[in-house]
Structure 1
Amino acid sequence: MAETVVSFVSNRLATLLQEEGSLLGGLRQEVQLIKDELGHMKAFLKVAEAKEDDDPRLQEWIKQVREAAYDIEDVLDEFVLRFAGYRHHGFYGSLQRILKAIKSLPARHQVASEIQSIKSRIKNISEGCRRYQVEFGIDHRVTGSSTMNDSWRYSRDDALLVEEAKLVGIDQPKQHLISKLLEGHDHQLKVISVVGMAGLGKTTLVKKVHEDPDVRKNFPVRAWVTVSQTCDFPKLLRDLIRQLYEEGKEPVPQSIESKTIAELKKIVKDFLQKAGRYAIVFDDVWNVEFWNAIKFARPEGNYGNRVMLTTRKADVASASCTESQDYVYRMEPLSIEDSWTLFCNKIFKGNYCPAHLMDVAKAVLDKCDGLPLAILAIGGLLASKDASRIDEWEMIQQSLGGELEGTGKLERVKRILSLSYNDLPSHLKPCLLYLSIYPEDDLIACQTLILLWTAERFVEWREGMSIEDVAWRYFSELVNRNLIQVTEMLYEGTPYTCRIHDLMREVILIKSREQNMVTVTTGQPMTWPSEKVRRLAIHSSSNSSNIQYHQQRQFYSFEHLRSFITVRSTNPLLSKTFLAEVLRSSKLLKVLELGGQEIEKTPNEVFNLLHLTYLSLYGTKVERVPRAIGKLQHLEYLNLGDTGVRELPVEILKLQKLRHLIVLQRVDPSDSDYGFHGFKGPSKLGGLLALQTLNTVDASSGSVIVKEIGKLTQLRELYITQLRREDGKELCSSLVNLTSLRLLSVKSIGKGDDHEIIDLNHHHPSLSPSSSSCSFLHSLRVLIMRGRLEKMPQWVAHLHSLVRLDLKWSGLRAEKDPLESFQHLPNLGEITFCGSYQGERLSFKAGGFLKLKQL
């Protein structure tokens, strides 16, 4: 994490030197020196963080680096807040600069003093860096995983923890995998990969399969190789050679210790070529590179041989299984029934759970969430407690997070789950730790998480990609590593909600506290971190704890706060006084999430938060947006969804960095035409050139606003309501400019059967399939139309990227089957009709709708 912070701050310094160099004046040299020193430490940090758990001194040094980097970021933002961005020209401009310079002399002196102080700290820290490089023998030029401390190369006995009790829920998957191993009489090699999160028992399952009598009989030559996170490839090959030769009852070649990797591979290949049928297991594979390296040790001719892999990462599983006969088995958590059986076997030796312990036992088991490793580890802990004393069990239930931080059986659980975190590249670690802002068992909105990551500047910009696309790649990588579980899809290929395993969340909370990443409060009496609070997440509270909170609050400052987030609940802790006080002292705040709070107007203090990039007032009682919104010129995300706001002031046009604008009001859910009211924007809305999301604009004022939409060429999601029939032609003209549009939702004026006609059937050269211009025809993935249609727009039949189509109140006549227009769309997976067709018969023709999953 420190390496990530240092990288971020180093990049910020580079940008400052480039863009605001003249404003730095005499401080330029000092800032350059700080940047250079951070650059020298960056590579060393990447290696040192993997070793920090084994030496408190190294841990303390890394903490110093992290805090120094955070302080540099604070000073940078202070500087930008006070001095940057003031550009004046001509005589009047010169006079303004002189007056500004005189007025800001004390502030400049303060910033200079802080930069000098940080420079001294950085120099001292750099000396520690050089000392530790020598003392720990760490070469800063080596940053690969092979440098990770051997203490993390845990024994696979930990993964076989389920051997301690009678195995449960393993018979069915075991027989399934055995049948996959034995099926088929072809002479091709088959690779079977078992993939799933840490602690599911992948190793145990494969071990049982590997030792099954039928498998042993069919594959006389067998070997088991533990790969692990810190794979020593030559050593692994030598181990494989020894096993193979011993299985074949042949003497192991004496010369293998001095052989090169290429020579060792040849020995393996030659042996397997003549050995007959073999089954080899590679347990705990962490990267695709290993598979690419080992596969060349296999002989060209195959005799129905088998290779099995276990891995936590989906990309490793899919990369190893590329042939038609290969197979990926995704291992799932135990069912509730199997979890309960395993739990009782461990604690009560197969007997029933006593009635007085039933509730607390189920609460503990819920926490394990079907993870055998956790069930047995926590079960072992409870087995040592007096079953007649419910208080001892309740104590364990309430302190599982603390137990994970301690020693003993739960330390092993933490260690195994932590391996997945430690394996992450530096840019993904803060993204994962950020999940600590969410309460236990919370279903997390994926899109919101992506936007928060970008607002927090966790996501690195890549050429040719939007910052959100890069963030989605980060998300996919965490899913691929089985650290995030997608729970619901919005439409094909787009995750809607996700979650994290309860015990993985506990590990994330521990890491987050260690890194001072997020401070979570419920308003209950708590010990605030000794470091500065940089991100504050509020979950829930009660009025009584509110008083206790304020008793502590008077001794605490939030001047270093970057994010203030409330999650999912109306919170009494957020009194007007408290909120105003926090916002007044948090001038460097970037993220403000107040969704669902009992707020009737936007606090005035918000408009002094000039660094604010993310502002959400979703679900509040706010009804108007003050003209002061124009002061927030760094704002990129503004969410006024489900509020009373129906109009935006012209000052919104000053927000030239705004990428996501969400202003809508929920219609009465009891209404059969359930939807949202939009907002009336200023007539020159097209001036917001950075907009990617516009949700939902009210077009009832006429063609001017529809024409302005055509200027928003970066739009990816567009929601329009109250569209008039006569503006359909103008909308078609605007749509052809939106070459990145992925989602289009159009609702006409009216309600139910009284909807006005949506007329989007106008001819335009770019709406022709023969058009060579890159139009929205090529990018649109979701099309939603609410309103009557005389006929389907011709261009719908050419939306080859379309995955979802919603038609509501279309009233299409029986003589024209609506399915004809889009039956050959190659990616269409979901269709929704509601009051859209007046006929009695729909015709699904052969060869059509090849991807349709939901109708």
Structure 2
Amino acid sequence: MDVVEAVVSVVKQKLTDLEIEETVVFDKVKKPMKEIKIKLKKMGGFFIDNSMKVKKDWTNHDYLRIVYQVEDDIEKIALSLERQRCCFLFFFNNRKSCRKLHRKIDRIGSAIETEINRLKNLSLLIPTASWKYLVSDENGFQNNINESSHSHHQRNTFGQSVNNIIIDDDDHHPADKEKDDDDQVVEYPCPVRNNVAVKTPSLRQRRTLTFSFSYEEEESGIVGIQDDVNALVKRLKTSDDEGGCYAILSIVGAVGSGKTTLAQAIYKSKGVKRYFNGGRAWVFFSKDYTKEDLLLSLLKQLESSKDKCEGGVPLNPEQVLVDMLSSANRYLVVVDNVHADGGVWDELKHVFLEARNRYSKIILTTCHEQVGNCSSSADLHRMKGLNHQESRKMFLNKARPRERFTKYASQDQNMMKILEICQGMPLRIVLLAGLLSTKSSDDELSQVLEHICRQCHAHLFNIQSFCYDDLPAGRKLCLIYLALFPKEFDIPVRRLVRLWLAEGFVKQSPTMASEDVAGEYFEDLVNRNLIQISKFRSDGSPRRCRLPSALHDYLLSKTQEINLFHVHRSNFDYNKEAEGQFVLRRIVEYQDIKNCSLNFSQLQYLRSYISFNIQKKDIPAREVANFVKKIIGSRGFGLLRVLDLEGVYKPSLPDKLGVLFNLRYLGLRWTFLDNLPKSVGDLPNLETLDLKHTNINSLPNSIWKLKHLRHLNLNEIRLDMPKKPLRLLPGLLTLWGLFVDDKSSIKNGLSKLHDLRELGITFNLILESSLDLADWISKLTSLQSLRLRSKDERGRPSELHLKSLSALDKLSHLNMLGSLQKLPDIHDFPPGLKVLTLSISRLTEDPMPILGQLQSLTVLRLLANSCLRKKIVCPVGGFSKLKGLKLWMLNNLEEWDVEEGAMPNLKELNIRCCCKLSILPPILLNSLEELVLTKMPEKFVANVRQQKRDHTYLTVNDHWSFTSLPAEVSYCFSV
């Protein structure tokens, strides 16, 4: 019943949202809606307290049918209100409509009451304490939220990491994986689950337990395999000339044994990077991929294949790969998660065997030994479990806070139970560490361990199921939702959080922004090790995430159980048996939707359409318009909340897009779409409009009337301001990619936006307007990320005017393009600045003495003549936290001094086209882990090769590509 409980929690939230909508003003309507919410709480109580007492003749489908019907009725009521409000306030002037609505709501309440009585007749008894809770004061949730909000301000580290996860600097196409640079918060009664009392700690308690966690400090978790890594790397570097050479290395082990972790450690090792100079590629083997899909993915990652392609697509991908792997260059290919069902793998295997040479190698991971023994040239490595010492070390690495668990010695009773449960399996260790981190006391932890041990002895224990069941109801659907993304897909955190909000999975709070509550959800799931951070931003905050592979499989079965979404593959495989139980609520497309044969009756309750069909880049996806028209149907509107086409090439959209009154999320990033229906300005509930990386150059003025809009991502679009901007997008948090000129209103337009967290703006303004813009920006105290680009009428960088940013204490990312008369004084910088990028600033004074005093600065990028000095000096003790530094196209720079104690923590250095720079400061080589030199003089490179240490990985590039506008490129080289 846990899945039903999760769905009930979301339906209650939607009812709350409808209740507080300003359009619902009649007490006669509000009162029965509150009664429905109390009845839903009663229904939820049955699922919490009686999950083991359900009669066999009642299944999850029986309960879900009731709950989904309530959800459908609630959203149809909301749509009805919205449509009538748009029709000249007809609803408010029509008593008959009000009475009709009242009767409809009463019918919903009666239906729920009937089902509750039916449950009682089935002897599902609820303890008195739980009944008391279920009919408790409606303000209980608000009290808990206020408490959590108070603790939120008390723990700055936690709050900052939550805020940073939704900063949008995701400028790379989703398919370019290798090229990326860049609750339920109420406290439940103690439910009895599986005969053990499990208390869910409040949000304040959970924060206390995890206060020391930060993404930057998280350890990799690679324990007990370093010897294997070293040995396997050595075997991979063995050629036929030395004997004992194998073309394929097969890593074989059970689910959760650490196969992929071992392969990743090998793939990323410095020895492998140096040895395989031709290139490296990694593909995940999935039943959804064809041989051609896998071949194209491999070729895309191996850059040298580009010369044999036309328009980026190889004429014969199989032959191109064979030729590459047969050449004198050394290539490494990893194929992860190979299945035993033959088919595609058998075809791909023959390609690898045909291409065998003395140097190129293949690594595959699989659960099946017969797959690993695929040929006489295969070298088999069997995974072995971790010993007790290694298991304990990994557990301590993954438990939070670590200090709480270090007291458990190897012979401690609780630690012995942990080791017994995990049996040396990394997956169990990681998930159990996350689960136990949420327990507020040693007694509670001991009870949970004792119960798990009993399940293990009875061979009933499943770690994925136990960790899922332990989640509060509000987080269950958020976690399950990740399973709609393809397996091993790197999910942008920005995209995930906004989708959660659009789906209605996040509790509303009177004191916290919804994005902050969603951030708490995300942080909790990461703390529990249920979500992995797969890519970090330059400042250490999470950029992309994914589900552990084994957890993805488990959750995918859960989605089928509750009909959360349907995956459309090459042939539409809609389950006819489920058709009689549920209508489709969400469709996830992995292939063309043109094969979809569903009619309106099957799609009329569709909530989301999400596409991952990003394979074809030359054929516009015209089928999308026809599919959306099906959703709208004959009644002229739809319940669709999410339309996410990110990465789909030029999808065609219907002109009647504006009738999707319920639409919350419209994602068109990386679609290269040329235009958008004007009716997009008529979407009253739209929260996210993402047009980044499209060719759209205009939007209707009605966009400013979307009072619910919170995230607006554009592609340098100029928007006309309304003449009377009294309530200009009151909830807007993200405004990125806006173009402003002298026709734009700043004082009486943009200045009305007070709560922005992300602002990316390009402008061409006269001095007076430029100062007005600077004055407005200096007062945006909620800003976390700011990008400013000053250009003249020909698109070339021009003078940039600033006012003090010292009041912006939340600003962590600052990117400025344009000339500065002088660098701002240290007291005018944001006090918490972490990442600073300067482009074409043309500073005539050395910026390093001032920048070195920024106490929180972790990444500094000085690009394209940002400094015109011949010499720069990093002063003693400066840049104490700096980890990454880029110096690009500083054409005048000849000498660079780093004084004693400066940049002590610098790990990554990237120098490009600094053609006059004579020598690299030797002191930097003490800490550098990665050094990239591009288009640097031969003498400079030779000197670096001679001085660098073994711990520094050096990359030298003789060519480079520049993706900026032509006007910017010519300007950079002319100054």
Shorter-chain TM range is 0.5 to 0.7
Whose radius of gyration is greater, 1 or 2?
Answer: 1
Structure-2 residue corresponding to 1:246: none
TM-aligned CA deviation for residue 42 of structure 1: 2.5
SS at match of 2:801: coil
- Structure 1 residues 44 and 728 mapped into 2: Cα distance closer, same or farther (>3 Å)? same
- Structure 1 residues 849 and 663 mapped into 2: Cα distance closer, same or farther (>3 Å)? same
Equivalent runs, 1:136-285 vs 2, <5 Å = 140=130
SS at match of 1:35: helix
Q: Distance in 2 between matches of 1:320 and 1:598?
A: 40
1:780–1:799: 8 Å Cα contact kept in structure 2? yes
SS at match of 2:749: helix
- Structure 1 residues 851 and 117 mapped into 2: Cα distance closer, same or farther (>3 Å)? closer
1:491–1:803: 8 Å Cα contact kept in structure 2? no
Paired amino acid for 2:495 = T
Equivalent runs, 1:49-198 vs 2, <5 Å = 49=51, 51=52, 57=56, 60=59, 62-83=60-81, 86=84, 112=103, 116=107, 119-120=110-111, 122-129=113-120, 131-134=122-125, 140=130
* Counterpart selection for 1:538 from 588, 611, 623: 588
Equivalent runs, 1:687-726 vs 2, <5 Å = 687-702=728-743, 704-705=745-746, 708-724=749-765, 726=767
Structure-2 residue corresponding to 1:779: 810
- Structure 1 residues 143 and 4 mapped into 2: Cα distance closer, same or farther (>3 Å)? farther
1:596–1:617: 8 Å Cα contact kept in structure 2? yes
Structure-1 residue corresponding to 2:674: 623
- Larger mean CA deviation between 15-24 and 590-599 belongs to 15-24
2:839–2:866: 8 Å Cα contact kept in structure 1? yes
1:747–1:786: 8 Å Cα contact kept in structure 2? yes
Task: Give the number of equivalent residue pairs.
Answer: 622
Structure-2 residue corresponding to 1:369: 260
Q: Distance in 2 between matches of 1:386 and 1:444?
A: 30
Q: Distance in 2 between matches of 1:524 and 1:15?
A: 38
Q: Distance in 2 between matches of 1:559 and 1:389?
A: 52
Structure-2 residue corresponding to 1:42: 44
1:542–1:573: 8 Å Cα contact kept in structure 2? no
Q: Distance in 2 between matches of 1:18 and 1:464?
A: 15
* Counterpart selection for 1:443 from 485, 490, 503: 490
Equivalent runs, 1:26-37 vs 2, <5 Å = 31=33, 33-37=35-39
* Counterpart selection for 1:487 from 523, 526, 534: 534
Residue 791 of structure 2 corresponds to residue 791 of structure 1:
no
- Structure 1 residues 680 and 48 mapped into 2: Cα distance closer, same or farther (>3 Å)? same
SS at match of 2:505: coil
- Structure 1 residues 382 and 641 mapped into 2: Cα distance closer, same or farther (>3 Å)? closer
Q: Distance in 2 between matches of 1:704 and 1:582?
A: 39
SS at match of 2:741: coil
- Structure 1 residues 98 and 782 mapped into 2: Cα distance closer, same or farther (>3 Å)? closer
Residue 443 of structure 2 corresponds to residue 423 of structure 1:
no
Q: Distance in 1 between matches of 2:4 and 2:674?
A: 42
SS at match of 1:704: coil
- Structure 1 residues 554 and 712 mapped into 2: Cα distance closer, same or farther (>3 Å)? closer
| Cα distance per residue 1:741-763 (max 9 Å; x no partner) | 11110111159995211122x5x
Structure-2 residue corresponding to 1:236: none
Structure-2 residue corresponding to 1:324: none
TM-aligned CA deviation for residue 418 of structure 1: 1.8
| Cα distance per residue 1:240-261 (max 9 Å; x no partner) | xxxxxxxxxxxxxxxxxxxxxx
TM-aligned CA deviation for residue 525 of structure 1: 3.9
Equivalent runs, 1:343-422 vs 2, <5 Å = 369-370=260-261, 382=368, 415-422=462-469
Equivalent runs, 1:517-666 vs 2, <5 Å = 517-528=564-575, 529-530=578-579, 531-541=581-591, 546-547=594-595, 549-550=596-597, 553-554=598-599, 557-567=602-612, 569=614, 574=623, 576-584=625-633, 587-599=638-650, 601-664=652-715
TM-aligned CA deviation for residue 703 of structure 1: 6.1
1:796–1:822: 8 Å Cα contact kept in structure 2? no
SS at match of 2:873: coil
Q: Distance in 2 between matches of 1:625 and 1:73?
A: 31
TM-aligned CA deviation for residue 563 of structure 1: 1.0
- Structure 1 residues 46 and 611 mapped into 2: Cα distance closer, same or farther (>3 Å)? same
- Structure 1 residues 722 and 36 mapped into 2: Cα distance closer, same or farther (>3 Å)? closer
Q: Distance in 1 between matches of 2:255 and 2:850?
A: 54
1:431–1:453: 8 Å Cα contact kept in structure 2? yes
1:725–1:758: 8 Å Cα contact kept in structure 2? no
Q: Distance in 2 between matches of 1:635 and 1:125?
A: 35
Residue 514 of structure 2 corresponds to residue 512 of structure 1:
no
1:229–1:286: 8 Å Cα contact kept in structure 2? no
Q: Distance in 2 between matches of 1:751 and 1:620?
A: 28
- TM-score normalised by structure 2 residue count: 0.55
TM-aligned CA deviation for residue 232 of structure 1: 7.4
TM-aligned CA deviation for residue 487 of structure 1: 1.8
| Cα distance per residue 1:461-517 (max 9 Å; x no partner) | 234321111111111111111111112222435311111111111011011111221
Residue 818 of structure 2 corresponds to residue 818 of structure 1:
no
Q: Percent identity?
A: 25
Q: Distance in 2 between matches of 1:110 and 1:466?
A: 31
Structure-1 residue corresponding to 2:967: none
- Structure 1 residues 804 and 23 mapped into 2: Cα distance closer, same or farther (>3 Å)? closer
Q: Could you say which structure has the greater relative contact order, defined with CA pairs below 8 angstroms and 6 or more residues apart?
A: 2
- TM-score normalised by structure 1 residue count: 0.63
SS at match of 1:488: strand
Structure-1 residue corresponding to 2:721: 682
Q: Which residues of structure 1 form unaligned runs of 5+?
A: 145-227, 234-284, 293-312, 322-326, 343-352, 391-407, 665-676, 770-774
Structure-2 residue corresponding to 1:732: 774
Q: Distance in 1 between matches of 2:731 and 2:92?
A: 34
Structure-2 residue corresponding to 1:182: none
Q: Distance in 2 between matches of 1:98 and 1:450?
A: 35
SS at match of 2:730: coil
SS at match of 2:603: coil
**Over aligned residue pairs, what C-alpha RMSD do you find?**
4.9
Paired amino acid for 1:827 = S
- Structure 1 residues 508 and 461 mapped into 2: Cα distance closer, same or farther (>3 Å)? same
Q: Distance in 1 between matches of 2:583 and 2:246?
A: 44
Structure-1 residue corresponding to 2:898: none
Paired amino acid for 1:369 = T
- Larger mean CA deviation between 422-431 and 697-706 belongs to 697-706
Q: Distance in 2 between matches of 1:649 and 1:532?
A: 38
SS at match of 1:448: helix
Equivalent runs, 1:457-468 vs 2, <5 Å = 457-468=504-515
| Cα distance per residue 1:595-631 (max 9 Å; x no partner) | 2334465312321110111111223343334442232
Q: Distance in 2 between matches of 1:848 and 1:141?
A: 62
- Structure 1 residues 367 and 88 mapped into 2: Cα distance closer, same or farther (>3 Å)? closer
Q: Which residues of structure 2 form unaligned runs of 5+?
A: 135-191, 233-243, 264-335, 341-364, 377-454, 886-975
2:712–2:736: 8 Å Cα contact kept in structure 1? yes
Structure-1 residue corresponding to 2:882: 852
- Structure 1 residues 319 and 649 mapped into 2: Cα distance closer, same or farther (>3 Å)? closer
1:797–1:825: 8 Å Cα contact kept in structure 2? no
| Cα distance per residue 1:55-86 (max 9 Å; x no partner) | 663861x5433332221121112112223575
TM-aligned CA deviation for residue 578 of structure 1: 3.0
TM-aligned CA deviation for residue 119 of structure 1: 2.3
Structure-1 residue corresponding to 2:184: none
1:710–1:738: 8 Å Cα contact kept in structure 2? no
